[in-house]
Copies of this chain bind each other. A is one copy, B any other.
Amino acid sequence: MPLLECVPNVSEGRRPEVVARLVAAVTSVPGVRLLDVSSDPDHNRSVLTLVGEAGDLRAGLLALYEAALREIDLTRHQGVHPRVGAVDVVPFVPLGDTPMKEAVMAAEALASEVAERFSLPVYLYERAARRPESCRLADIRRGGFEGFPAKMADPAWAPDFGPARVHPTAGVTVIGARFFLIAFNVVLETADVAVAKTIARKVRESGGGLPAVRAMGVYLESRGRAQVSMNLVDFRQTSVLTAFNRVREEAEALGTQVLESELIGLMPEEAAMGVVAEALKLPEFKMDRIVFGQA
């Protein structure tokens, strides 16, 4: 059976007991395997990494939507990360030999059922998008939850599924299909978010920086630090190490330092082995050069 990864992003990263209930909901379905949960209080957001077959994932995600709509009230939600929904964005990713078409079909099936069952407006994005303006997540998300009623008044922004009316507490939801993405954040020594924003503008592809890199600068109140938050959408074009080194150089040029980094969710084997090879200048490094479990 074709395997998919699914990486739901939910708008809750401050109340661990709520995150635990959301995780319990999605994993109540046998066949849904939870690989990682990354919660951040400043982003006020949690990212779940799931693996399973399309049908099992759909059942688990419906349970997740139900729990999230009960637990999350976006009218009282604050956080540095842009968001439009209680269940903000749900990408399906083909794993191994699974064709992208499977991920698109999983997105469509979930979108239809979520819209009907919860009266929630649904936008399809990236490979599942039905029109050019909703390909990019950033375009859909522009204006945020607070700005969405005005945005939806424009017929061009009618949802793909569900009512053309923002849900009062859960907003809208964005479901799609895309290739594997590495979510990688670099925390700076400085508290100055302007520095992080400047670095983000320099490193991201849209600013003429590194190919296949998206970046934004945010302030982490809980840590009193600024952060460059990145999505690496094709690690073969720009590796994690290249992105990290570029952020470090830009930070140093602006008189600050990298404090530490964080990986949200997972990294593909090839990307991780590539970091080892690149850092050590090995022509190649693969898993078969590793002795497992050896201390």
Q: Do the beta carbons of A294 and B280 come within 8 Å of each other?
A: no
State how many angstroms separate the Cβ of A28 from the closest Cβ of chain B.
22
| Interface 9-residue window, one of A109-117, A166-174, A221-229, A262-270 | A262-270
Q: Do the beta carbons of A241 and B36 come within 8 Å of each other?
A: no
From residue 268 to 295 of chain A, which have CB atoms closer than 8 A to chain B? 268-270, 272, 275-276, 278-283, 285, 287-295
Is A180's beta carbon under 8 Å from chain B?
yes
Q: Do the beta carbons of B280 and A241 come within 8 Å of each other?
A: yes
Q: Which residue of B lies closest to A236 (CB)?
A: B295
Find chain B residues with CB under 8 A from A294 CB.
Answer: 95-96, 180, 268-270
Find chain B residues with CB under 8 A from A260 CB.
Answer: 281-283
Find chain B residues with CB under 8 A from A272 CB.
Answer: 276, 285, 289-290
Find chain B residues with CB under 8 A from A293 CB.
Answer: 95-96, 269
CA distance A240 to B260 in the complex (A): 20
Q: Do the beta carbons of B261 and A282 come within 8 Å of each other?
A: yes
The number of chain A residues with a CB under 8 A from chain B is 41
Binary contact readout A235-272 vs B (1 if CB under 8 angstroms, 0 otherwise) = 00000110010000000000000111111001111101
Is A108's beta carbon under 8 Å from chain B?
no
CA distance A283 to B275 in the complex (A): 16
Q: Which residue of B lies closest to A262 (CB)?
A: B282
State how many angstroms separate the Cβ of A195 from the closest Cβ of chain B.
17
In the complex with contacts A276-B272, A276-B275, A266-B290 CB distance below 8 A: yes
Is A126's beta carbon under 8 Å from chain B?
no
Is A12's beta carbon under 8 Å from chain B?
no
- Which of A95, A184, A289 has the most B CB atoms < 10 Å from its CB? A289
**In the complex, the 10 A-B pairs of residues with the closest C-beta atoms, listed nearest first:** A279-B279, A268-B294, A261-B281, A266-B291, A275-B276, A260-B281, A269-B292, A261-B280, A272-B290, A268-B291
What are 5 of the A-B contact pairs (CB < 8 Å)?
A: A35-B291, A180-B291, A241-B279, A269-B292, A269-B294
